[in-house]
Structure 1
């Protein structure tokens, strides 16, 4: 059996790092454009790629470097400017392009940046394809670049934002409007700062915007889905019906009800699943979520005769499973919600619109409509380490197995390495809060001690 190429640059969601430091440099972006351009040059037509970005200052560095790489590989480049990740995925497919690229580090602070790639079908690339790109990046590609007469061109897509707004609005039932709804919308000073308020306004809502004045530095700073305090406060201050918080690239969403209390991705998935099932629109007999989703969601679905298929963490793994097994709803507790009838990747705006649709049709308050199950106590803590991960040590594995046995039938233990940094994530959930805390505290202490010993 041939050995599969290894991924070193690509993590769970593209390439990510501190801007202008390896690997997130202009040189890397140039090589990535050349390698991906070569790999996706298939056939004799003029090949095309679209590049979108969020509002980080470093996007001005990475965008031209990627553009140069693709042009040198013979690809025409379409520049979309700041747009949500799902918008670029949608445009890649609808414009029949060969490749889509998003320059974003999602919910990370402005110092970081990242690059995500989408294939012609609008789906994130597989691990195998990313490994092929990495292998090409390690080669000398100078003799494989386009001849002078075959170089690509670059142009801007002036109606990119409008195309996405219309596509998002189309996800609502025909004729449904949001008139009378007062909505606080936090765009995290990120990629959706124009399109999300526009879509809600055009549908009739009264929009109270937050996080819509990006300056290159303030993306996700005390704003958006990972810092919803300002959203909750604004909902109460303005007596809003609901609050919507997107992250920097708007592929995830967290909500706040009219009382200013958070509604996470699991509740959103449960609500949409029930609504789709009642309308006979849910395919696959259930939904897809990751190992992090709460057991309460799984039990709620089970009571309706629906299944919960779990994947490893990462919305692209959710999407891959959905495509392979015929599901049309999936997502993550963090707020990635994939509705494959309308999008190929997580789309915070489209997911929020489905919740708003339920509110309008049911005439219920968000606090009543959006809390569909009682979550089991769940505790997640992180343990940093230096050098080799301590998870492979025999006594650590024994401790993990012992902890899982203590929760057998009433909960579960999940220990996993972070896909983006040297960190072990320790999670347990179950019916007994005290026992959950005891187990997580004990495992974190053991893993931390083992990490110190391994580093000495």
Structure 2
């Protein structure tokens, strides 16, 4: 049986893969496992619940709240709030666990359930497995006053915005930014934080109609942001995804600044201030080779992990590192957050512009991206991607062909039914040719 948890919680089609029944069972299991680990000290455990704007978040949130309360957990419902906002509140209020209802950058029909432990941290694999083993088991149900309560979390948005702005050392006055909120959880908090920090803000993608979340807007669809930046003559544009744990940017000309470039900018800032622990930046295997080369030239080492911000965070915690993230825009600033935070990233990117007097493009030129081609191969058995001998031989041959001038990454997605083929090479044409060749092998060998 396939593992229920992926690289970022449990995710799938709402009311099909992710049902109310499953949400109740997962929440009961999480209450039991995290209560045991959390050592609540004799008091009734407390959870914070939040969601993005998807319509299915209503019934799934209600199911999660019901499951937690039935297991004796008091639930504070924060309503629509970014994932990093939930993580911050779990940490700052010393809640025993948090639950986020979101499928992040996925389309509106999808949804998911992410758990956070005490301290606002994502769960390691072994804890997720322990929760999964609890599904369907018999348990002693509390009665009477021993069941949990469900109440609104008043002031959750204000508390999170206050936190975001408090992390800055200087005003953003004088900067004009366009913020694309992906019609998701950042629609209120993102513009509020940027404005309170002093920036002039134009907003797109701020509809709270969850049926439009990530629909042609946000960090996976940068074209509207590019157009809006040029229209308003803005200094920079920032784009979040549906639950705002990602941030990508575009410069004044509408050129994309990806997660690798954002990390390079922030790494240099921390490095210059002596705040980059052991001069190390933590990234995944998907980060561009150009980032590694640029950082090495400036005395910064890269530590690589598997794909997923949870693995980046595990490495950061293990080494006490200050900064890490993914090319997709998950960026973790450990001094201020326990997980990737798109709004926090945007604020600190703008602060770097303000303190240096540099444009977004000038800052992004710290690294030169190696040409890269990514092909998502659908309709294949992703479980066999890393064990099929012909696929592995094709990857090895491509790596030998590229030598030190490029690289190949082939991996099954942890959140979608597909296999990703990524190739970096000296030219766009060579990257595309090698990637398509490998994708063809994957289609032929792993077809369902």
TM-score bin (small chain)? over 0.9
Give the C-alpha shift of residue 386 in structure 1: 4.2
CA distance, structure 1, for counterparts of residue 429 and residue 123 of structure 2: 42
1:55 aligns with 2:53: yes
Structure 2 CA distance for partners of 1:419 and 1:410, relative to 1, 3 Å: same
Deviation by residue 1:380-418 (Cα, 9 ceiling, x = unmatched):
112223456354232222121111111222211111111
Give the C-alpha shift of residue 216 in structure 1: 2.3
Give the C-alpha shift of residue 12 in structure 1: 0.6
Please name the residue that 1:257 is paired with. Answer: 251
For the residue of structure 2 that corresponds to 1:137, the secondary structure is: coil
> 1:425 is matched with which residue: 399, 414, 420?
420
> 1:18 is matched with which residue: 4, 13, 20?
13
Give the C-alpha shift of residue 240 in structure 1: 0.7
Please name the residue that 1:3 is paired with. Answer: none
CA distance, structure 2, for counterparts of residue 30 and residue 300 of structure 1: 48
Please name the residue that 2:362 is paired with. Answer: 368
CA distance, structure 2, for counterparts of residue 351 and residue 390 of structure 1: 34
Give the C-alpha shift of residue 262 in structure 1: 0.9
* 1:334-413 superposed matches below 5 A: 334-387=328-381, 389=384, 391-413=386-408
CA distance, structure 2, for counterparts of residue 399 and residue 179 of structure 1: 53
Please name the residue that 2:101 is paired with. Answer: 103
Please name the residue that 1:212 is paired with. Answer: 206
Give the C-alpha shift of residue 170 in structure 1: 1.3
On the 8 A contact 2:50/2:101 being kept in 1, the answer is yes
On the 8 A contact 1:47/1:74 being kept in 2, the answer is yes
CA distance, structure 1, for counterparts of residue 71 and residue 55 of structure 2: 26
On the 8 A contact 2:380/2:443 being kept in 1, the answer is no
Deviation by residue 1:422-451 (Cα, 9 ceiling, x = unmatched):
322111112243332232121111221123
CA distance, structure 1, for counterparts of residue 155 and residue 384 of structure 2: 48
> 1:245 is matched with which residue: 239, 250, 258?
239
5+ unaligned residues in a row in structure 2: which ranges?
A: none
1:235 aligns with 2:229: yes
Please name the residue that 2:159 is paired with. Answer: 163
CA distance, structure 1, for counterparts of residue 12 and residue 48 of structure 2: 22
On the 8 A contact 2:181/2:206 being kept in 1, the answer is yes
> 2:77 is matched with which residue: 57, 79, 86?
79
> 2:433 is matched with which residue: 438, 441, 455?
438
For the residue of structure 2 that corresponds to 1:166, the secondary structure is: helix
Please name the residue that 2:286 is paired with. Answer: 292
On the 8 A contact 1:7/1:134 being kept in 2, the answer is no
429-438 vs 67-76, which moves further: 429-438
For the residue of structure 2 that corresponds to 1:145, the secondary structure is: coil
CA distance, structure 2, for counterparts of residue 246 and residue 434 of structure 1: 30
Structure 2 CA distance for partners of 1:415 and 1:390, relative to 1, 3 Å: closer
Number of paired residues?
A: 443
> 1:329 is matched with which residue: 295, 298, 323?
323
Deviation by residue 1:18-68 (Cα, 9 ceiling, x = unmatched):
11112x000011111111111122342110000011011001101111111
Deviation by residue 1:71-130 (Cα, 9 ceiling, x = unmatched):
110000000010110010011011011101110010111111111111102110011000
CA distance, structure 1, for counterparts of residue 386 and residue 286 of structure 2: 19
For the residue of structure 1 that corresponds to 2:278, the secondary structure is: coil
CA distance, structure 2, for counterparts of residue 181 and residue 405 of structure 1: 47
1:127 aligns with 2:125: yes
Deviation by residue 1:331-382 (Cα, 9 ceiling, x = unmatched):
0000000001000000011111111111111222222123321111111112
On the 8 A contact 1:184/1:234 being kept in 2, the answer is yes
CA distance, structure 2, for counterparts of residue 426 and residue 211 of structure 1: 30
Please name the residue that 1:189 is paired with. Answer: 183
> 1:416 is matched with which residue: 398, 406, 411?
411
For the residue of structure 1 that corresponds to 2:339, the secondary structure is: coil
CA distance, structure 1, for counterparts of residue 217 and residue 429 of structure 2: 32
CA distance, structure 1, for counterparts of residue 88 and residue 171 of structure 2: 23
On the 8 A contact 2:33/2:131 being kept in 1, the answer is yes
CA distance, structure 2, for counterparts of residue 73 and residue 90 of structure 1: 24
5+ unaligned residues in a row in structure 1: which ranges?
A: 1-5
CA distance, structure 1, for counterparts of residue 220 and residue 126 of structure 2: 30
For the residue of structure 1 that corresponds to 2:286, the secondary structure is: coil
